[in-house]
Chain A
Amino acid sequence: MRILEKKSLKIRYLHRKAGLTLHVLLTLLPLAAGAVYALLYSVGLAGSLAAGFTLRYWESLVSRGTLWQTFAYSAYIMGVSIVLSYASALAMVISARGRLMERKGSRIFYLPLAMPALVLAFFAFRFLSGGGWLASLAFGSGLIASPQEFPELVNDPYGLGIIFVHFLLAFAFFSIYLDRVYANERIEEQVQSAQLLGAGYRQSLRRVVWPMILRKTWPAISLYGLFVFGSYEVPLLLGRSTPEMLSVRIVRMLSRFNLDDRPEAFAIVFAYMMLTVLLVFLLRKSKGGLR
């Protein structure tokens, strides 16, 4: 019996090690290699046109304010999209008391998630642009006399179109996810217990629901935030020439006519990777973070 147990433990140990090795080989190693390559490229030590160690690409990037503008703009889009979608989804899940997905027609929440982001972005463009369906409706009803009079909802200074599409995607995701967390964590029962002990409705929301849900969903919020931070197709179609979101800027610099711009693009790639690693590290350190 003990021999069998030992054997089973050994097999489980080997499985775990094999999984870890595969993870290192297929995920971490290429990422680490990519980071090293990006760093070397950005300091003139890699690439076809490399001419020896230099910090001029980093200096040029840092001296131009547009890099910080790019990071700030990406953070702004991420923050607004996530806060709006998370808050709306949470409000809906709480009002449904964790039974949102049991309701009739709730499968519609899966629809935006099944669509590629580019398709939704194109839909938003056709819907919200000056020559789009909404503008045609406004024109038909005499509210505007020409497409130029329609308010700027895409390619606009505040990223409204980009936020709209990310809101659609994230709201659906958070609604499904929060509903599952609400049910699995038996939050409704906890609320009822708190109320039996004398807590008011608002107090139970503030002291029970919010801390429990936030602790459970914090990693998902952070990872989804990173996804929005690095999104490409949506800001490419609905954003404007400046400020740009991070991925749009990187791809533009990589594909520019001047090949000397490539090291600067790799410098941004490296900075972005380090930021992501830092965030994942902080998440692991935080309570209820990634495990």
Chain B
Amino acid sequence: MRKRTTNKPAAGRMGLAALFILAFLSGSCRQAGSREARDPLQMSWEEVLQEARGSSVHLMMWQGDPFINRYMNEYVKPKLDSLYGIRLVLLEGQGNRIVSQVMTEKEAGIRRGGIDMGWINGETFYQLRQIDGLFGPFVEKLPNSRYIDFDNPFIAFDFQQAVEGYECPWGNVQQVIIYDSLRVPDPPRNLEALAAYLKAHPGTFTLSNDFTGMTLLKAFLVELAGSPDTFYGAFREQTYLKYSGMLWDWINGHKKYFWRRGETFPDAVAPLHQLFISGELNFSMSNNDAEVDNKILQGLFPETTRAYVPDHGSIQNSHYMGIMANGANKAGAMVLADFLISPEAQWRKADPAVWGDGTVLATEKLPPEWQKKFASIPHRKYSPGRAEIGKKAIREFDAEYMIRLYEDFRKKVIEN
């Protein structure tokens, strides 16, 4: 019988070996992390361009739309390469993934992270600012930022939080409700009409338990309060409790007529679209007001699909590009951001056959030839006009409202 004690020195050697390897690995990481690049905020734009040439930029973005993917892969990538000698690498992931990765890298002390830039919106901006995850202020440094419409509160403020140069506006959209005009000739335009519709057609309506669904709930809050002004400014607990209470009462009072009796909700817009396409639902929704044109052109929605904004209005917001504080290639990311807000890139993106994303540029500030080009962008065929729905645009509320809506929707509706 072998004595157990003979293993002790071996175990000790093993432990030592493990410690040595760990020490070596952590040393290597620190070594890699110590290669500090120059701060691009202290450089002239020419120096930024020079620093960025020959580098790679890692952009993390949602890649769930073939039109957007084509725009990035077939237009932005080659242009960035030919104009600035920058290789663009697209990484799949959106808000929560970006925050999670940056947070994990920060907690692990990694100073040269895997993401240089991320496509973000209000909630991600709020989270990244919370953890000091964003680099900046860098927007003023971009030559094309002189064309951005910063007088527009829908662009200068993200969830009521001043952008302050920590994220670069990229596009502007408004939420719409999508329906099939064959199945729903006269869509409900307020909560009272929606209640009547639900009773007459049970199981044909729901909302997604995600950013888009919560954005719709904000519009419902506005209708219940009578005006969006009630929610502008800093978060007010009493206001939230009063109107959210009315909202939960309304939803719980009618959820037996929702899809699956309101016992479950699709967790994203994609399954919501899927249910709409298969005929289970008569409605879908999108935060991209040109979505109907896109999806019809992709052959996913029938040509009888239309979109509208209810009488109480809908949230209009912007989406942005943020550079990560621990990004390895900040200069390259700044050049990419500048290119994305160039008149040409914005004009191409606004075409409904390309993407149909609203521009963040104040077109009156552009040179005359670009003003003409923007004026001649083909009109949408199936989606409502931007000017028309813009009259009913509601600004985003303070981020705290969104946090509370997410929590309470789960507690007071889903788990109720």
Residues of A within 8 A of B (CB): 17, 20-21, 24-25, 29, 46-49, 66, 129-132, 146-148, 152, 155, 157, 236, 240-242, 254-259
Kindly provide the distance from the CB of A121 to the nearest chain B CB, expressed in whole angstroms.
12
B403 and A241 contact, CB distance less than 8 A? no
A157 and B131 contact, CB distance less than 8 A? no
19 pairs from A and B in contact (CB 8 Å cutoff): A20-B14, A24-B14, A25-B18, A48-B107, A48-B131, A66-B415, A130-B275, A147-B280, A148-B204, A240-B260, A240-B263, A241-B209, A241-B263, A242-B410, A255-B96, A255-B97, A257-B126, A258-B406, A259-B99
Chain B residues closer than 8 Å to A152, beta-carbon distance: 260
A21 and B17 contact, CB distance less than 8 A? yes
Sort chain B's interface into a size bin.
35 or more
Instruction: Pick the residue among B10, B265, B280 that contacts A131 (CB under 8 A).
Output: B280
Kindly provide the distance from the CB of A192 to the nearest chain B CB, expressed in whole angstroms.
40
Kindly provide the distance from the CB of A110 to the nearest chain B CB, expressed in whole angstroms.
30
B residues 247-271 with Cβ under 8 Å of A? 260, 263-265, 267
Given contacts A148-B203, A148-B280, A258-B407, contact A241 B14 (CB under 8 A): no
A242 and B260 contact, CB distance less than 8 A? no
Chain B residues closer than 8 Å to A147, beta-carbon distance: 278-280
Instruction: Pick the residue among B10, B127, B267 that contacts A259 (CB under 8 A).
Output: B127
A259 and B280 contact, CB distance less than 8 A? no
- The yes or no answer to B103 lying at the interface (CB within 8 A) is yes
A48 and B106 contact, CB distance less than 8 A? yes
Instruction: Pick the residue among A46, A146, A242 that contacts B415 (CB under 8 A).
Output: A242
- The yes or no answer to B100 lying at the interface (CB within 8 A) is yes
What 0/1 pattern do residues 404 to 416 of B give for CB contact below 8 A with A?
A: 0011001000110
B127 and A241 contact, CB distance less than 8 A? no
- The yes or no answer to B123 lying at the interface (CB within 8 A) is yes
What 0/1 pattern do residues 107 to 144 of B give for CB contact below 8 A with A?
A: 10000000000000001001100110000000000000
A241 and B267 contact, CB distance less than 8 A? yes
Known: A25-B21, A148-B203, A242-B264. 18 other contacts (CB 8 A): A47-B103, A48-B106, A49-B131, A130-B275, A131-B277, A155-B260, A236-B267, A241-B264, A242-B414, A242-B415, A254-B96, A254-B100, A255-B99, A255-B100, A256-B406, A257-B127, A257-B406, A259-B131
| Residue of chain A at shortest CB distance from B14 | A21
| Residue of chain A at shortest CB distance from B406 | A257
- The yes or no answer to B321 lying at the interface (CB within 8 A) is no
Kindly provide the distance from the CB of B210 to the nearest chain A CB, expressed in whole angstroms.
10
What 0/1 pattern do residues 263 to 294 of B give for CB contact below 8 A with A?
A: 11101000000110111100000000000000
Chain A residues closer than 8 Å to B402, beta-carbon distance: 257
| Bound complex: CA A255 to CA B279 (Å) | 31
Chain A residues closer than 8 Å to B277, beta-carbon distance: 131
A129 and B406 contact, CB distance less than 8 A? no
- The yes or no answer to B202 lying at the interface (CB within 8 A) is yes
Main SS of the interface on chain B? helix
| Residue of chain A at shortest CB distance from B108 | A37
| Bound complex: CA A43 to CA B126 (Å) | 24
Given contacts A157-B263, A240-B264, contact A129 B21 (CB under 8 A): no
| Bound complex: CA A253 to CA B21 (Å) | 34
Closest 4 A/B residue pairs (Cβ) = A131-B278, A255-B96, A240-B264, A148-B203
| Residue of chain B at shortest CB distance from A261 | B407
| Residue of chain A at shortest CB distance from B22 | A29
A258 and B14 contact, CB distance less than 8 A? no
Kindly provide the distance from the CB of B265 to the nearest chain A CB, expressed in whole angstroms.
5
A130 and B280 contact, CB distance less than 8 A? yes
| Residue of chain B at shortest CB distance from A16 | B10
Given contacts A48-B107, A130-B280, contact A17 B10 (CB under 8 A): yes
| Bound complex: CA A157 to CA B131 (Å) | 38
Centre residue among A29, A129, A146, A148 by max chain B CB count within 10 A = A148
What 0/1 pattern do residues 56 to 71 of B give for CB contact below 8 A with A?
A: 0000000000000000
| Residue of chain A at shortest CB distance from B271 | A237
B107 and A47 contact, CB distance less than 8 A? yes
A48 and B202 contact, CB distance less than 8 A? no
A24 and B264 contact, CB distance less than 8 A? no
Chain A residues closer than 8 Å to B263, beta-carbon distance: 157, 240-242
Chain B residues closer than 8 Å to A241, beta-carbon distance: 209, 263-265, 267, 410, 414
Kindly provide the distance from the CB of A238 to the nearest chain B CB, expressed in whole angstroms.
11
Instruction: Pick the residue among B103, B204, B278, B415 that contacts A132 (CB under 8 A).
Output: B278
| Residue of chain B at shortest CB distance from A139 | B279
Instruction: Pick the residue among A20, A148, A256 that contacts B202 (CB under 8 A).
Output: A148
| Bound complex: CA A240 to CA B209 (Å) | 11
Kindly provide the distance from the CB of B83 to the nearest chain A CB, expressed in whole angstroms.
36
Kindly provide the distance from the CB of B100 to the nearest chain A CB, expressed in whole angstroms.
6
Chain A residues closer than 8 Å to B403, beta-carbon distance: 257-258
Given contacts A21-B17, A130-B278, contact A48 B264 (CB under 8 A): no
Kindly provide the distance from the CB of A139 to the nearest chain B CB, expressed in whole angstroms.
9
Instruction: Pick the residue among B18, B99, B106, B203 that contacts A29 (CB under 8 A).
Output: B18
| Bound complex: CA A236 to CA B280 (Å) | 19
Chain B residues closer than 8 Å to A66, beta-carbon distance: 415
| Bound complex: CA A147 to CA B14 (Å) | 63
| Residue of chain A at shortest CB distance from B133 | A48
| Residue of chain A at shortest CB distance from B132 | A48
Chain B residues closer than 8 Å to A157, beta-carbon distance: 263
| Bound complex: CA A220 to CA B274 (Å) | 37
| Bound complex: CA A188 to CA B203 (Å) | 55
| Bound complex: CA A24 to CA B16 (Å) | 12
Kindly provide the distance from the CB of B400 to the nearest chain A CB, expressed in whole angstroms.
10
| Residue of chain A at shortest CB distance from B407 | A258
Chain A residues closer than 8 Å to B267, beta-carbon distance: 236, 241
B residues 361-413 with Cβ under 8 Å of A? 402-403, 406-407, 410
What 0/1 pattern do residues 74 to 115 of B give for CB contact below 8 A with A?
A: 000000000000000000000011011001001100000000
A131 and B279 contact, CB distance less than 8 A? yes
Chain B residues closer than 8 Å to A20, beta-carbon distance: 14
Chain B residues closer than 8 Å to A255, beta-carbon distance: 96-97, 99-100
B123 and A257 contact, CB distance less than 8 A? yes
| Bound complex: CA A110 to CA B280 (Å) | 34
Kindly provide the distance from the CB of B301 to the nearest chain A CB, expressed in whole angstroms.
14
Kindly provide the distance from the CB of B132 to the nearest chain A CB, expressed in whole angstroms.
8
Chain B residues closer than 8 Å to A25, beta-carbon distance: 17-18, 21
